Amino acid sequence: MAIAFDAFTAGGFSSSTTHTYSHTCTGSDRILFVHGYTNSNSDLITGITYNGVAMSFISKGSPSGGRYSYLYYLVAPATGANNVVITASSSTSLGGTSTSYTGASQSGQPDGTQSQLVTETNTDNTVVTTADNCWAVLTSIGAQATASTNTTLRGVGSTFGDAKMFDNNADITPAGSYAMATTSGGAGAIQYLQASFAPVFVPSGPANVKTYNGVASASTKTIDGVAIASVKTWNGIA
């Protein structure tokens, strides 16, 4: 099953110890990413939840001059409109944006991660993927960044206009080093956070074997105790 974009939400901001906004997830085999950020140079965000479920931390960083940036994810987020809650250790200006996707593996995520602080005008953000047909998400905060090669802008924070979420909008194949390019609109520093995520694995079985003991090969997980992905032939048939 191929990965597909589901939805983006610009979650606004508030000055408090928590910031809440709603994001809607649809479809199957879902994954959700949240970009939380502060208008402070202090490391204050302590956690993010979706529908009351704790999200997993990926990475964080800060460009010079403040605005800490955080990337979290959640596998199998609840469908429908549910609250994202960003929590800080003390009152500050908190904001958030989020993107959700379908067709993502429900285990072993994220596939790869990368954090980069840059001041260059043109930047390649390179993540190393392990699984074939991954997608990658990229967040930025600091000087304005615009999408370039292998990069699609999904949305902008409604208050902090320099807080953005991107993805590559395509299967990464073969697996390996993959660069998402951006261009800076100014001379200031930009903090990028990046993560790749793998698709649902659908075993195909040996190419010319359609069934095994009456079961479709795509539904067969093992043959004689051997993982189907490792079986190259069956009774001499490829």
pLDDT by position in tens, the chain (length 238): 799 999 999 999 999 999 999 999 999 999 999 999 998 888 999 999 999 999 999 999 987 666 899 999 999 999 999 999 999 999 999 999 999 999 999 999 999 999 998 877 778 899 999 999 999 999 998 878 899 999 999 999 877 668 999 999 999 999 999 999 998 876 678 899 999 999 998 765 554 445 445 555 555 555 556 665 565 554 554 5
Task: Please name which of 108, 149, 148 lies closest in space to residue 129, comparing C-alpha atoms.
Answer: 108
What ranges do the domains of the chain cover?
A: 4-197, 203-238
- How high is the pLDDT of residue 209? 47
- Measured CA to CA, the distance from residue 56 to residue 71 in angstroms comes to 9
CB-count burial class (<10 Å; 0-12, 13-18, 19+) for 66: middle
Q: DSSP of 192-218, one letter per residue?
A: EEEEEEPBPP----STT--EETTEEGG
Q: What are phi and psi of 230, to 5 degrees?
A: -95, -5
How does DSSP classify residue 219?
G
- How high is the pLDDT of residue 228? 57
- How high is the pLDDT of residue 231? 55
Our CA dihedral for 95, 101, 105, 106, rounded to 10 degrees, sits at 60
Question: Angle CA(14)–CA(167)–CA(21) in degrees, nearest 5?
Answer: 20
Rg of the Cα trace of the chain? 20
Whether the Cβ atoms of residue 98 and residue 82 lie closer than 8 Å to each other: no
pTM for the model stands at 0.84
